[in-house]
């Protein structure tokens, strides 16, 4: 039975809108959901990042936050928590994940080198490319089949990893847990272990992009025989122990509105990162965060790794995936924890990738029911020429329904599934979209489109 393992103490009203209003809002937003205002959205599944609900204990911890510039006790409480999880000796707070990526990659990559990953997330890729390097994704074979129920479709392709490390100019390997760009699929400890061994043999640094480390640990404890019955926290420790360090957006599994971390084993690398941190983010004991944030994070990391919480969250995601499947909406299987991914390409065969089918489905979810989702298809991941024309489509046309932590109830999720079911009734009539404005990097955030 699904029962959220918390109750609600503070609430926020949802502004109810109707379809004609939403049509006006979407047209004014240039058909880009990132341009909508919060009040124009009824259920916001754009992201699970920074959108979680704080617990009473986190608010209390925030009140204890100490705003001393250097040496705040809030930092030491934060560091103790990260140290307990990772065992890494060098720990720096940063304002969010992408700051950690920018600082670490500038210290590990030289122009012309390659960064390898199961899948780089969009900002991770951008931070690699902005250094004049190539971000190469090598997901495992099973990841290609979105219907397969293989439990670890987030794994990296170990044979490809070995080949690239033998013949290519590789500056780092970064494993994203769970694999957000690849359908929110988890990575097994066995895969992390073997990838780490291969990297060690070739003398290449191996990091985790640990934004959803707790959800990965939960899925390992459920599906990897060696870890059956282990607590998510002990699995997380095992995972971190295999890597040379990590970068993480803590706005996900840390259940805070803002925060991130760089944690490393090597003192020399840490010293290089620390210089860039102080120059660009803030002194080493706050890194762009307030003491309040650091204390809420220390508490959030304890709650985010709690088995009852993770079990409830995974059950909610599976429930939504089940309702969608029952309504004839195909979803990536198996559902992960932070999101359900709709296979929009499969239900919109009349729209070629150049007309951004997944974007069309996401837009219609909003028009139909005020549900905001994000496209993870050719608009986000394809290659577009200088005229805004798609020249290389993404491997899949997906719509991600990301679930903020502790925010929406079962009835909200049922409303989302009903909205998707209504979209399915007229899915063959959905329009395609054409880019009218398109920035060169991270196009999906700022582009404008029009229906065709």
* Residues belonging to the active site: 69, 121-122, 209, 211, 252, 444
Interface pattern 172-211 for ligand F0G (x via CB under 6 A): ----x---x----------------------------x-x
Contact status: 251 vs ligand F0G (CB under 6 A)? yes
Spatial separation of the C-alpha atoms in residues 288 and 62, rounded to whole Å = 16
Q: Name residue, tokens 């939504």.
A: 320
Contact status: 232 vs ligand F0G (CB under 6 A)? no
Helix, strand, coil shares of the chain, percent, nearest 5, are: 45, 15, 40
Of the candidates 339, 402, 404, 410, the one whose C-alpha atom is nearest the C-alpha of residue 54 is 404
Q: Is the peptide bond before 438 cis (omega within 30 degrees of 0)?
A: no
* Contact region with ligand F0G (CB under 6 A), list: 81-89, 94-102, 381-389, 412-420: 94-102
Among positions 335-364, residues that touch ligand F0G (CB under 6 A) are none
Contact status: 93 vs ligand F0G (CB under 6 A)? no
Can you spell out the DSSP letters for 10-70?
S--PPPP--HHHHHHHHHHTTT-GGGS-GGG-SEE-S-SSS-PPPPHHHHHHHHT----SS
CA 220, 226, 229, 230: dihedral to nearest 10 degrees?
Answer: -70
Q: Which of 65, 183, 232, 260 binds ligand F0G (CB under 6 A)?
A: 260
Q: Residue 360 in contact with residue 450, Cβ under 8 Å? A: no
Contact status: 444 vs ligand F0G (CB under 6 A)? no
How many whole angstroms from its chain centre is CA 25? 27
Q: Residue 179 in contact with residue 185, Cβ under 8 Å? A: yes
Contact status: 123 vs ligand F0G (CB under 6 A)? yes
Contact status: 121 vs ligand F0G (CB under 6 A)? yes
Contact status: 96 vs ligand F0G (CB under 6 A)? yes
Find the shortest distance in angstroms from Cβ 282 to ligand F0G.
Answer: 16
Find the shortest distance in angstroms from Cβ 319 to ligand F0G.
Answer: 21
Q: Is the peptide bond before 144 cis (omega within 30 degrees of 0)?
A: no
Task: Closer to ligand F0G by CB, 97 or 357: give it.
Answer: 97
Task: Closer to ligand F0G by CB, 205 or 351: give it.
Answer: 205
Note the residues at the interface with ligand F0G (CB under 6 A).
47, 49, 96-98, 121, 123-124, 176, 180, 209, 211, 249, 251, 260, 402
């Amino acid at each position: 039975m699904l029962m959220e393992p918390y109750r609600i103490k503070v609430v926020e009203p949802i502004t109810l809108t109707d379809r004609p209003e939403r049509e006006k809002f979407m047209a004014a937003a240039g058909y880009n959901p990132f341009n909508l205002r919060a009040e124009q959205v009824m259920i916001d599944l754009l992201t699970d990042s920074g959108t979680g609900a704080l617990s009473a204990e986190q608010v209390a911890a925030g009140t204890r936050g100490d705003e001393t510039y250097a040496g705040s006790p809030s930092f030491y409480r934060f560091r103790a928590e990260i140290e307990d999880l990772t065992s890494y000796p060098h720990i720096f707070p940063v304002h969010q994940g992408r700051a950690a990526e920018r600082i670490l990659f500038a210290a590990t990559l030289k122009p012309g080198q390659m960064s390898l990953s199961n899948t780089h997330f969009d900002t991770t890729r951008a931070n690699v490319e902005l250094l004049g390097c190539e971000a190469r994704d090598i997901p495992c074979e099973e990841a290609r089949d979105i219907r397969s129920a293989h439990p670890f479709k987030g794994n990296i392709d170990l044979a490809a990893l070995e080949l690239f490390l033998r013949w290519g100019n590789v500056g780092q390997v970064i494993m994203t847990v769970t694999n957000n760009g690849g359908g929110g699929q988890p990575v097994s400890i066995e895969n992390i272990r073997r990838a780490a061994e291969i990297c060690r043999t070739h003398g290449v640094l191996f990091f985790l992009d640990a934004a959803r480390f707790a959800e990965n640990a939960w899925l390992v404890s459920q599906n990897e025989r060696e870890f059956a019955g282990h607590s998510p926290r002990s699995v997380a420790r095992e995972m971190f122990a295999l890597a040379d360090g990590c970068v993480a957006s803590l706005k996900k599994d840390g259940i805070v509105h803002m925060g991130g971390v760089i944690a490393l084993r090597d003192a020399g690398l840490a010293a290089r990162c620390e210089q860039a941190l102080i120059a660009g983010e803030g002194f080493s004991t706050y890194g762009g965060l307030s003491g309040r944030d650091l204390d809420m994070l220390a508490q959030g990391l304890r709650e985010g790794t709690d088995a009852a919480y993770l079990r409830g969250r995974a059950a909610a995601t599976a429930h939504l995936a089940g309702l969608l499947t029952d309504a004839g909406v195909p979803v990536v299987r198996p559902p992960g924890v932070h999101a359900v991914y709709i296979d929009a390409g499969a239900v919109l065969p009349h729209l070629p990738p150049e007309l951004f089918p997944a974007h069309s489905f996401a837009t219609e979810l909003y028009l139909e029911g005020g549900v905001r989702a994000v496209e993870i298809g050719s608009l986000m991941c394809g290659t577009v020429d200088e005229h805004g024309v798609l020249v290389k489509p993404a491997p899949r046309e997906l719509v991600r329904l990301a679930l903020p932590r502790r925010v929406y109830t079962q009835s909200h999720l049922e409303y989302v599934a009903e909205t998707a079911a209504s979209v399915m009734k007229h899915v063959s009539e959905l329009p395609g979209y054409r880019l009218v404005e398109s920035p060169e990097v991270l196009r999906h955030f700022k582009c404008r489109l029009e229906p065709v």
